[in-house]
Amino acid sequence: MVKQNTTLDIERNLGNFAYPETHTHDAGVGLTEKTIHYISDVKQDPDWVREFRLKAYKTFMSKPMPTHWASKDLEAIVFDNIRYYLSGGTQAKRTWEDVPEDVKRTFERLGIPEQERKFLAGVEAQFDSEAVYSNIKKAVGEQGVIFVGSADGLKEHPEIFRKWFGKVIPTGDNKFSALNSAVFSGGSFIYVPPGVKVKHPLQAYFRINAENFGQFERTLIICDEGAELTYMEGCTAPKFNTATLHSAVVELVALKGAKIQYITVQNWSNNVFNLVTKRGLAHEEAEVKWIDCNIGSRLTMKYPGVVMKGRKARGEVISIALAGDGQHQDTGAKMVHAADETTSNIISKSISIGTGRATYRGLVHVPKHLKNCKNNTECDALLINANSRTDTYPAITVRGTGNAVQHEASVSQVSAEQIFYMQQRGLTEAQAMSLSVNGFVNDLVRQFPMEYSVELKRLIELEMEGSVG
Amino acid sequence: MSNPSAVLEAKPAVEPETAAILSGIQNRGDDKLPAWFTDQQRAAWTQFESLPMPARTDQAWRFSTVGALDLAPFVAARPLSEADGREVLERSTGLDETSGRLIFADDHFLERDALSEKLRKAGVIFQPLERAMIEHEELFRRHFMSQPATLGSAKFAALHEAFVRSGTFLYVPRGVEVQLPLETFHWLHAENAAIFPHTLVVAEELSKVTLIEHFRSTDRHRPGFACGVNDLIVGAGAKVTYICAQDWSDKTLSIQINDTTVGRDATALNLHLGLGGKYSRLESLSRLTGEGAHSDMLAVAIGDETQEFDARTLQDHASPHTFSDLLFKNALNGHSRITFGGLIRVEPHAHFTDAYQKVRNLLLSDDAEANSMPGLEILADNVKCSHGATSGQIDEDEMFYLLARGIPASVARQLLVGGFLNEVLERLPDPVLVAKLEELIAEKFARRAR
């Protein structure tokens, strides 16, 4: 059987590099009302945004840490040691030539430009907290699609932005959504007009490149009636010694008959606290689908949710979590049924390697007097080493007749026979293991766009290195 | 709520003179309780006072109506009048054939059917707690309240320990098999009576025994409070079947804390039937401590009107090669609510564990509510674990089939609900026990029909 080996030395080819920092705006260390004013000043926020931030700051200060249910590791976050705002001071650029040289080098290592040319309709890459590069292909722009940074969004399109901003995820939803509301910068704002189907996925890359620097991007996506959109975000971060905080808020609004698919492949370095609130609002016959892949980070807490507000709305969460040695992936999904005939589906697969811990935490809520709501939840966990850990904590509330809810979870390990079989055919144990793990998640990985699934398989292989043998 | 110490009429004043209170309660029954026991009760009272009341923000009480836990109205139970006692005895109808019976009302021992000569000679002990703690002090003390309540009710376990005055002690020596089931009755009688039924079962190596307990109220609408603890200690290779049939009045508040320790190659099966009560919380823990240990945890609850059932379970695998299987089925009518919070915990090194957990809720009305929190914590390798939770309603096609054959809708529903619940009852090894439980369930259905 698989021998125990916890001395995982994960090589991240992607993301393990950094360039000297040159920031013109720096809010300094720690969080006070002054910090909020500083951010508002630098960003030239409208008054309502400044007030929104200040109110959120008070909410953040008054809310306790959720350690009565969450990992005690949260207590290791020292809010006073974090820098809440850094910026190169550069405005979002439209052409590649305008992008500073060192930033370009970073993106080149991530392979963005080629991908952009080949597949993508637009790129919104975030270097630290400001969008430094933003481009929408002509065709998409002509269709009336708005794809800008959230700072531009709230200034240039306040009539759409204000209507939904903070409505899907209220400031006080949790301590970290309040923190994000207070200090947010960066992130995307997308509006797709009625009936427009964006053929190619829109994509944004996020990077953290300053030690002790929290990244608080805020994304708001609105798909008007009958519109369709796929959005992708990928995260890589250089390794640093001190813990870094990433706390994003992502709000999706799918109006009647709209479809939004939001894809995340996340590969934080293993000192990052990744505490993200993501929620979608699905109106009548609309569909919101989260495809979420979490690799890396010290602690990830992320439970993408869908509120199915209109009849026949549909919510889906596909989640892959890979907890390497010393990492804790606390992921899951939230499905709130708020109308008749709404359906939701959660499929979660997790892999724990070494002392890694993968947790599924879910919430399914079907309130009173709703008819024909359906939820299906499946959680599968794979344990690689003897000291690996996995947990499942679902909470399911159903009221009334006429609804069907089912939850299933299983825990297993790679079968010794499979490994034996492959070794017989000349594979090393590590290769066999890697193949098995990829097989375990394969049906989910296939749902990712092609270039992501290739990257994902590669990342899984990298994480698996040294875990056996 | 703010003053949980107002539990009993003999409640402590500002500065509790606990000793006096406790002895006051205990002397009422003219018992001569040993000093070690009353000392332990005093310590438990101090502990009860120091622990906070549960809040809904506690994970262990999530979804539970903690506001129902108002202990202020309840008073210490007193012995029954002779006439009432006789009536209770007459109404204590259980199994036709048993190896022995104990009957309690309002925490006072009423009567018993003694064990056969043969079982007594074999060393089996089946007697009221208050006698066992004197006659078998060493044995009793070793196991009495030896496991901490870890599923949220530590405060109520302390309350129980502080006020327990009656219950059952069952001891089965090595290799002895008790063929017929043993049976006990705990009745709630007086208005607002508080009782603390305790059951301690110690089954030594390779022994075998079945115990069925009935929790009932003499009046279906009289309020009462029951805070019980039952500990089962299943020695190596032993087999214990424990059934708790709860049918309190519809105004009873009850908390039942069950702790089962299953040793090497031992088999434990416990089944909790929840029929009565206004708010009934069950905390059931199975600890698998020896290789080859096997535990079945079963429960059936039928909710009507505004009844609330709250079940918390833990399948604690502390040793490799252990097996546990949990199956809870609930049928909910009216405005009833059920909360299930279960956890399978596989400790590090408890490799080669098989653990299963299944919860099925059948919602029969639009106002019924089911909350399920089936949890897993796996810290070992080579584990087979799964859990499932479903909530649904009666299958239209099945209903149609029965109606098409001329069966009235109410009967058809009852048949389908009965069939749904039957999967749990069938897991009992003895058809006599299945029949008894089915009879109790049918009585509940009949009550609803009236």
Q: Per residue in A167-212, pLDDT tens?
A: 999 999 999 999 999 999 878 889 999 999 988 778 765 444 444 4
Distance set, CA B23 to CA A251, B31, B39, B132, B162 (Å)? 63, 10, 10, 19, 11
Given CB atoms, is B363 within the 8 Å cutoff of chain A? Answer: yes
Q: In 3-state terms, what secondary structure has residue B380? A: coil
Q: Indicate whether A108 pLDDT > 80.
A: no
Q: Indicate whether B160 pLDDT > 90.
A: yes
Return the residue matching tokens 């939001």.
A262
Q: Indicate whether B10 pLDDT > 60.
A: no
Region class of A254: left (phi > 0), else alpha (psi between -120 and 50), else beta: beta
**Nearest residue in A to B379, CA atom:** A389
Please tell me the distance in Å from B346's CA to the nearest CA on chain A: 9
Check A1 against B366: CB less than 8 A apart. no
**Nearest residue in B to A408, CA atom:** B388
C-beta neighbour count of A161 within 10 angstroms: 21
Given CB atoms, is A363 within the 8 Å cutoff of chain B? Answer: no
Given CB atoms, is B23 within the 8 Å cutoff of chain A? Answer: no
Given CB atoms, is A391 within the 8 Å cutoff of chain B? Answer: yes
What number is the average pLDDT over the span A429-441? 86
Check B390 against A387: CB less than 8 A apart. no
Within A353-449, residue ranges assigned H as helices are: 416-424, 429-445
Backbone phi, then psi, for B287, in 5-degree steps? -110, 115
Confidence at residue B29, expressed as pLDDT on a 0 to 100 scale: 44
Residue A434 confidence class, pLDDT cut points 50, 70, 90: confident
Identify which of A383, A395, A401 has the shortest CB distance to residue B381.
A383
Return the residue matching tokens 């935490």.
A361
Q: Indicate whether A241 pLDDT > 80.
A: no
Alpha-carbon span B275 to B287, nearest angstrom: 26
Q: Per residue in A264-288, pLDDT tens?
A: 887 777 788 999 999 999 999 999 9
Distance of CA A340 to the CA centre of its chain: 29
Interface-testing mutation among A351, A396, A419, with chain B (most B C-beta atoms within 10 A):
A396
Lowest mean per-residue pLDDT among A360-369, A455-464, B154-163: A455-464
Check B372 against A407: CB less than 8 A apart. yes
Alpha-carbon span A180 to A59, nearest angstrom: 11
Alpha-carbon span A388 to B348, nearest angstrom: 9
A277 within 8 A of A177, measured Cβ to Cβ: yes
Bridge-based pairing of strands A25-26 and A86-87 is antiparallel
Distance set, CA B76 to CA B1, B71, B107, B198 (Å)? 18, 12, 9, 16
Alpha-carbon span B421 to A39, nearest angstrom: 61
Contacts with A391 from chain B: Cβ below 8 Å: 375-378
Confidence at residue B12, expressed as pLDDT on a 0 to 100 scale: 34
Distance of CA A245 to the CA centre of its chain: 14
Identify which of A387, A398, A401 has the shortest CB distance to residue B365.
A401
Identify which of B368, B373, B382 has the shortest CB distance to residue A395.
B373
Return the residue matching tokens 């932005």.
A161
pTM of the model: 0.83
Contacts with B389 from chain A: Cβ below 8 Å: 394, 396, 405-407
Q: In 3-state terms, what secondary structure has residue A466? A: coil
